[in-house]
Copies of this chain bind each other. A is one copy, B any other.
């Protein structure tokens, strides 16, 4: 219906009471009125007990359709709460790709138990899919596709679809295979819908197709769907070109979203969480965050070491200490900016390793300008302040100059490190997002102190120092 969000909100109490009172007719009625996606959204909000009743009582095919839309953690909870008979019905009905995602996330004995519930044909299929390496395209695959021969007429193809299409996840694409089952073309359903019924498939074919190798990493599938952005499914083949299955866009979108979340978490200096924030167990979160925090802390301890080298200078000119946080954090901020820009540009394929030289020139230029701007503001601030107060003493102008040049140096340095470090990581085969903003900032804190005190020594020697 027109505004489905409003509708799910209005009908949610009905669903709750139907489950509470065991009113099967009302439940059936709700299932007929609402789309599976809306029902899934409502089910997520239910109490665990009501969720279990829902999946026990709703017709099997509808139950499976809704079940497939839930987060895997919720799927697990529900399987534990409903009867074995229902579990068997649901996992036998599930789309093979969604089933693989569930099975691979379970502990081994639970996987074994679920496999024992499957009918022989489904079990064989599930085992075959689980046989592909973790994070390979094969694991995303559904083997239910429509394959035709090139000598068939359009009429025969449409007839074939009508008789065999029922259990296929998508009918948007039809695959042409040779006598041995090797993929020779993929044709959008559009072509068959628009061609005269007596035309032969061979005359429609253009032999232009993109297939995904089953053993390759899932990342490649994401890239392929991004490139062929109007495609909703892509075929998967083995090394010899035999058609094994298809990957559909809904799974890819889910995967791409997970990867973006990982990138953002890493950028913030957190090991990527797998669960939604509110579902993550507290101690799990402490571990994920604590690990990186300790690494950063140990790195940051070098600031204390660096500063202890300049303890004598600080005791002679305490005023120097006042500007340390300002200077090092400006370098850190400039570095975080550069790192975020470059990490995202790498993720989008806009910047590659061979661009490092261009990036470096750009960032030195940008860093120097930004440093000059911040430096000038700092210089003005100290100058104006000194007109009214005596905080900075007689040598205030030398101190202002020290701050000015230090800011230029530290900001330019931060910008350079922040931009080049992700590129270097990418080159080394690591994840560029691991060069998180906090990581870059920590590095710049330590080096910034050294830059600052050296400039101070140069300018203030014989005066304050």
Chain A residues engaging chain B, CB cutoff 8 angstroms: 1-2, 4, 32-35, 37, 41, 158, 161-162, 165-166, 170-172, 189-190, 193-196, 206-211, 226-230, 232, 237, 241, 248-250, 253-254, 257, 260-261, 263-265, 267-270, 273, 276-278, 282, 285-286, 289-290, 292-294, 296-298, 300-301, 303-304, 307-308, 311, 314-315, 318-319, 321-326, 328-330, 332-334, 336-337, 339-345, 348, 350-351, 355, 358-359, 362, 365-366, 369-370, 373-374, 377-378, 381, 391, 411, 437-438, 441-442, 445, 449
Q: Bound state CA distance, A329 and B232, in angstroms?
A: 46
Q: Are B391 and A311 in contact (CB under 8 A)?
A: yes
Residue of B nearest to A374 (CB): B297
Q: Are A318 and B319 in contact (CB under 8 A)?
A: no
Q: Bound state CA distance, A267 and B343, in angstroms?
A: 12
Q: Are A336 and B269 in contact (CB under 8 A)?
A: yes
Instruction: Identify A270's interface contact among B257, B337, B391, CB under 8 A.
Output: B337
Q: Are B296 and A333 in contact (CB under 8 A)?
A: yes
Residues of B near A190 (CB, < 8 A) are: 165, 170-171
Residues of B near A323 (CB, < 8 A) are: 304
Q: How far is the CB of A215 from chain B (nearest CB, A)?
A: 13
Q: Are B341 and A322 in contact (CB under 8 A)?
A: no
Q: Are A344 and B261 in contact (CB under 8 A)?
A: yes
Residue of B nearest to A68 (CB): B230
Q: Bound state CA distance, A390 and B232, in angstroms?
A: 68
Residues of B near A324 (CB, < 8 A) are: 321, 324-325
Q: Are A232 and B340 in contact (CB under 8 A)?
A: no
Q: How far is the CB of A42 from chain B (nearest CB, A)?
A: 12
Instruction: Identify A232's interface contact among B232, B276, B334, B445, CB under 8 A.
Output: B232
Between A189, A206, A208, A445, the greatest number of chain B beta carbons within 10 A of the residue's beta carbon is seen for A208
Q: Are B342 and A325 in contact (CB under 8 A)?
A: no
Q: Are A228 and B162 in contact (CB under 8 A)?
A: no
Q: Bound state CA distance, A400 and B255, in angstroms?
A: 46
Q: How far is the CB of A207 from chain B (nearest CB, A)?
A: 8
Q: Are A264 and B264 in contact (CB under 8 A)?
A: yes
Residues of B near A366 (CB, < 8 A) are: 282, 285-286, 289
